[in-house]
Amino acid sequence: MATKRSRKPERGPARSSARKDTDHYEPPPVETRNSDIHGRGVYATRSIKKGARIIEYLGERITHAEADRRYERKGDDDGHTFLFIASRRTVIDAGVNGNEARYINHSCNPNCETVIENGRVFIESIRRIKPGEELGYDYQLTWESTDDPVELALYACRCGAKGCRGTMLDREPVDKQKG
Ligand SMILES: C[S@@+](CC[C@H](N)C(=O)[O-])C[C@H]1O[C@@H](n2cnc3c(N)ncnc32)[C@H](O)[C@@H]1O
Ligand SMILES: [Zn+2]
């Protein structure tokens, strides 16, 4: 998902799925508490099976231009963001009217992934999750090969996973990605 953002919103793989009943509401089996990775994190309150839709990423729906404007205002020394790219037109700012999903930290060995469906973003399990386990997905933050390395260093990962790649950034810059 290519954008020309100078800073990096949260994003997930642009996988779409036509499945799962979202009309039947059950409270998400998660709670928010302090995390060893960063700040607050989100934890399973019960066992979650593989392939479960856990929670929707909610927040104010804004344009990319508005997201850029809000993010630039935050200053250069702060990589923290509650932004998620939902489409080429829309960014979700979970800093406004967001839910617990905004506290899910990045992991290089994730137990969750994000699924974008009709412009809505859902967090789903990609393996069975035990009660008390912290939820995580790979942020794959967008960056460009021309970005300042000092700025990119702000996105260092502290997930502690075996094989941690050391950054929350995507593996390749958007300007070098195929397609
Ligand atoms: C959507 S917030 C996640 C919730 C965050 N822990 C909090 O308390 O607000 C995303 C921010 O959390 C931090 N973060 C999340 N995962 C991280 C990780 N694996 N390593 C370092 N910082 C992380 C980064 O500052 C990131 O911009
Ligand atoms: Zn990591």
Q: pLDDT tens-digit profile of 32-69?
A: 999 999 999 999 999 999 999 999 999 999 999 999 89
pLDDT at 11: 52
Burial class (CB in 10 A: 0-12, 13-18, 19+), 160: exposed
- Distance separating alpha carbons of residues 96 and 146, to the nearest angstrom: 31
Please state whether the predicted TM-score (pTM) of the whole model is above 0.75. yes
Residue 13 lies in a domain: no
Q: Which ligand is nearest to the CA of 108?
A: 2
Looking up residue 93, the CATH number of its domain turns out to be: 2.170.270.10
Residue 54 lies in a domain: yes
Residue 47 lies in a domain: yes
The range of the structural domain enclosing residue 122 comes to 30-176
* pLDDT tens per residue, range 155-169: 999 999 999 999 999
- Provide the 8-state DSSP code for 154: G
User: What is the whole-number distance in angstroms between the Cα of residue 63 and the centre of ligand 2?
Assistant: 29
Residue 134 lies in a domain: yes
Structurally, the chain folds into a number of domains equal to 1
Residue 3 lies in a domain: no
User: What is the whole-number distance in angstroms between the Cα of residue 39 and the centre of ligand 1?
Assistant: 7
Residue 25 lies in a domain: no
| C-alpha 36, offset from chain centre | 18
Residue 136 lies in a domain: yes
Report the DSSP beta bridge partners of residue 138. Answer: none
Pocket of ligand 1 (CB under 6 A): 35, 37-41, 79-82, 102-103, 105-106, 157-159, 168
Residue 24 lies in a domain: no
